């Protein structure tokens, strides 16, 4: 699935969605997405934003609270790590 998001410069770009996540603690939805570029550590660059789908268009917004971002990032990192470990297990069984 692809989404269009405005970058820091206001330019509209295409991104691939990695996953969506709902936090019961904050009662909000989040989207994890990538532009498929890698950072200086050769790691896939991913972005996390709040989103709402109140209409036909998905609205993505930045975090306004650093504590909330840190908690959500940690939860999503744990999800992605679990997926990676499970994928490695499946690959090793082949």
pTM above 0.85, yes or no: no
pLDDT of residue 65: 87
pLDDT value at position 58?
66
Residue 35's CB: how many other CB atoms inside 10 A?
Answer: 14
pLDDT tens by residue, 18-70: 999 999 999 999 999 999 999 999 988 998 988 887 766 667 788 888 999 99
The alpha-carbon radius of gyration of the chain (Å, integer) is 15
For residue 92, is pLDDT > 70?
Answer: yes
Q: Count other C-beta atoms under 10 Å from residue 85's C-beta.
A: 10
DSSP string, the chain: -EEEEE-TTS-EEEEEEEEEEEETTTTEEEEEEEEEEE-TTS-EEEEEEEEE-SSSS-EEE--S-HHHHHHHHHHHHHHHHHHHHHHHHHHHH-
For the chain, the domains span 2-93
15 token code pair = 């991104």
């Amino acid at each position: 699935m692809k989404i269009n998001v405005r970058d820091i410069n206001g330019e509209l770009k295409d991104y691939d969605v990695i996953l969506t996540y709902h936090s019961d603690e904050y009662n909000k939805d989040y989207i994890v997405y990538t532009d498929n570029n890698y950072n200086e550590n050769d790691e896939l660059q991913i972005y996390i934003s709040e989103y709402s789908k109140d209409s036909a268009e998905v609205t993505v917004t930045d975090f306004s609270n650093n504590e909330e971002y840190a908690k959500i990032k940690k939860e999503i990192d744990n999800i992605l790590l679990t997926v990676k470990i499970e994928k490695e297990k499946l690959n090793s069984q082949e």
